[in-house]
A and B are shown apart, each in its own frame.
Chain A
Amino acid sequence: MTTPKRILATEAAKETIDTLRTRLGTELMFHQSGGCCDGSSPMCFEKGDFKVGSQDVWLGTVHGCDFFMSADQFEYWKYSELTLDITPGRGSSFSLEIPMGIRFLIRSRLFSMEEYEALPPTQNGEEFLSLP
């Protein structure tokens, strides 16, 4: 079994990341949001625009972008394999793809116990930032 990843992306999501990178000329990051209106959705920002810290968990990189969520939310999400996808739609929030008339979306699948146990350890945002 290859080492499972917590966060994957569909081809459509990867293309959107590439488009945004080219258009904005900058690296990107994601932070998974919690509740309300546009919540429970992944937010895409310029790298470093959203400040992560000890209460965030770094899930890994997706198509070269760091992906975070808050630690208490991760408690309920840690058993899920997440796939970043794209859907047409008029979202709000400060997520960078919104002017394109599309929205990043998370699709979820529960890990098998074997996969879950093979997952690499996560880091919190503070540990992540202190990496060389």
Chain B
Amino acid sequence: MDTLTYAKSPAVDRPLIKEKYEHFIGGQWVAPASGEYFDNISPIDGKAFSKAARGNKEDIEKALDAAHEAFKTWSKSPAAERSRVLNKIADVIEDNLELLARIETIDNGKALRETRAADLPLCVDHFRYFAGVIRADESTISEHDEHTVSIALHEPLGVVGQIIPWNFPLLMAVWKIAPALAAGCCTVVKPAEQTPTSIMVLMELIADIVPAGVINVVTGFGPEAGKPLATSSRVAKVAFTGETTTGRLIMQYASENLIPVTMELGGKSPNIFMKSVADADDEFFDKAVEGAVMFALNQGEVCTCPSRILVHEDIYDRFMERVIARTKAIKLGHPLAEDTMMGAQASNDQFEKILSYLEIGKQEGAEVLAGGAKASLNSGLENGYYIQPTIFKGNNKMRIFQEEIFGPVTCVTTFKTTEEAIAIANDTMYGLGAGLWSRDAHELYQVPRAIQAGRVWVNCYHAYPAHAPFGGYKKSGFGRENHAMMLNHYRQTKNMLISYSKQKLGFF
């Protein structure tokens, strides 16, 4: 029986998905060298819905061969041509948005309203942004004296390795692929093993648009396919989104090859609600309440999940009463139903890990204000991975305040002064995201400056537009995705230092 009551809405139809997908290498579908495939389980019902190729070193080498071959021409292609290809990809995604949104929901378990309104439209815009950026991008030149000119020209790094997480399988791939292609690099992409299907459907759709070998996708398990990619002496850079231990490991491998890396490694983001938030019970107050409940977006499986609510003690009761009510109103259900607000966690091991943290929170003496358990849904969803959106009350020294749970779980604590709010906000290993809510013009500038995080949302949360740089401070990594500055993480600088003087130096 359901532990939550909800009016059941019919799920939209599932698109036809192939029984299995091979690797996408050199513009072709290539069977895995091992001959093996693995099941892709949908978090919706815990059932396999497709198979992915089980890649290994041999497949990675094939993909690197194809990428290196393609690099010879792609790296020299005009910016206008690269821009045209990126725009075409965007058009194809836009034309197939509904199809890709449904497949992404089946692959990942997130609600369809999110894949339709966020994941896929952001993919489209991301390609268009980088298509535009490279048309306006210029290198620099400086005249050192009347005879000496220095040209600092951008050149693509080469063939890069990109390791993609499962929380936004398409969008995180696009965040990495678009700037790499724009910069003139070719890529070998290794999707997460939980979500290897949606990107292959995208490859089917764009296979005729992208020159062969510019994008190669090899599916498989981390130790078997990810490691050969990360350790290869034939990649010029590795981009990774994931957790800290694997991040360190990839940096260790990169140090052996002396290549650069970019890392996006998660967080424990504070969402701070200043006293002025409750000055009036108006539209803005309502927006702030929603801002606190954003921890449930994407089932909390976001590196920037606002998993710590810091609220001024004077407004705690008034504010949290609304936040709890709004959280309890979140409608869990079939991810493919159009009115479902929160879907399933992406995999069984994540589901189990989140449940273990619910236990840790209770052991630590945190008070459960909402949720606190799994959500048992029926009607074919009994074996899916559903968790009730949960709010704990406690203090910042607790493990649930310090460790990334990566589920629909937030922890609330109070502060008395602005200084205390900043101190609590910064008392974490991480520095990826943060939120600041206030009606005070001074706080709106000063508090975000004092927070050690790469992205501070001010009177908003969870917006990810291209054109706003995104990346971490502290142990949340480095590199800034989502912005033109990412181009330079895929390029190096060729300096030509030119003398136009006919006079010798006179040294020898």
- A contacts, CB < 8 Å to B: 31-41, 43, 45, 49-51, 70, 72-73, 76-77, 80, 87-96, 98-99, 101, 103, 105-110
Q: How far does the Cβ of A29 sit from chain B's closest Cβ, in whole Å?
A: 11
The 8 Å CB contact of A40, one of B223, B242, B406, is B406
Q: Can you list 9 contacts pairing A with B, beta carbon distance less than 8 Å?
A: A35-B243, A35-B266, A37-B165, A39-B266, A51-B252, A88-B349, A89-B351, A90-B41, A92-B165
Among B192, B224, B350, find the residue whose CB has the most chain A CB atoms closer than 10 A.
Answer: B350
Closest 3 CB pairs of A and B: A36-B266, A89-B349, A35-B404
Among A41, A91, A101, find the residue whose CB has the most chain B CB atoms closer than 10 A.
Answer: A91
A residues near B244, Cβ cutoff 8 Å = 33-36, 39, 70
Q: Does B241 touch A at the CB level, under 8 Å?
A: yes
Contact check, A36 vs B241: say whether CB atoms are below 8 A apart.
yes
A35 to B303, CA, bound (A): 8
Contact check, A37 vs B406: say whether CB atoms are below 8 A apart.
yes
Q: Does B299 touch A at the CB level, under 8 Å?
A: no
The 8 Å CB contact of A99, one of B221, B242, B243, B347, is B221
A residues near B301, Cβ cutoff 8 Å = 37
Q: B430: nearest residue on chain A (CB-CB)?
A: A35
Q: Which B residues from 172 to 199 make CB contacts under 8 A with A?
A: 192-194
Contact with A along B154-165 (1 / 0, CB 8 A): 000000000001
B residues near A34, Cβ cutoff 8 Å = 243-245, 265-266, 403-404, 429-430, 475
Question: Known pairs A76-B402, A77-B399. 16 more at Cβ < 8 A?
Answer: A33-B243, A34-B403, A35-B243, A35-B266, A36-B241, A36-B265, A37-B165, A37-B303, A39-B243, A43-B245, A50-B249, A70-B244, A90-B347, A93-B246, A108-B363, A110-B364
- B contacts, CB < 8 Å to A: 38, 41, 54, 165-167, 192-194, 221-224, 226-227, 230, 241-246, 248-249, 252, 264-268, 301, 303, 347-353, 356-357, 359-360, 363-364, 397, 399, 402-406, 429-430, 475-476
B residues near A51, Cβ cutoff 8 Å = 252
B residues near A35, Cβ cutoff 8 Å = 243-244, 265-268, 303, 403-404, 406, 429-430, 475-476
The 8 Å CB contact of B348, one of A49, A90, A109, is A90
Contact check, B349 vs A90: say whether CB atoms are below 8 A apart.
yes
Given A90-B347, A103-B349, A105-B349, A36-B303 contact (CB < 8 Å):
yes
Among B166, B245, B350, B429, find the residue whose CB has the most chain A CB atoms closer than 10 A.
Answer: B245
Q: A49: nearest residue on chain B (CB-CB)?
A: B249
A39 to B354, CA, bound (A): 11
A41 to B242, CA, bound (A): 12
B residues near A96, Cβ cutoff 8 Å = 223
Contact check, A32 vs B245: say whether CB atoms are below 8 A apart.
yes
B residues near A36, Cβ cutoff 8 Å = 165, 241-244, 264-267, 303, 404, 406
A91 to B222, CA, bound (A): 9
B residues near A76, Cβ cutoff 8 Å = 397, 399, 402-403
A residues near B227, Cβ cutoff 8 Å = 94
A93 to B351, CA, bound (A): 16
Contact check, A33 vs B356: say whether CB atoms are below 8 A apart.
no
Contact check, B245 vs A40: say whether CB atoms are below 8 A apart.
no
Q: How far does the Cβ of A56 sit from chain B's closest Cβ, in whole Å?
A: 9
A residues near B360, Cβ cutoff 8 Å = 80, 108
Q: B224: nearest residue on chain A (CB-CB)?
A: A99
The 8 Å CB contact of B363, one of A33, A94, A103, A110, is A110
A residues near B249, Cβ cutoff 8 Å = 43, 45, 49-50, 94
A101 to B348, CA, bound (A): 10
Contact check, B429 vs A38: say whether CB atoms are below 8 A apart.
no
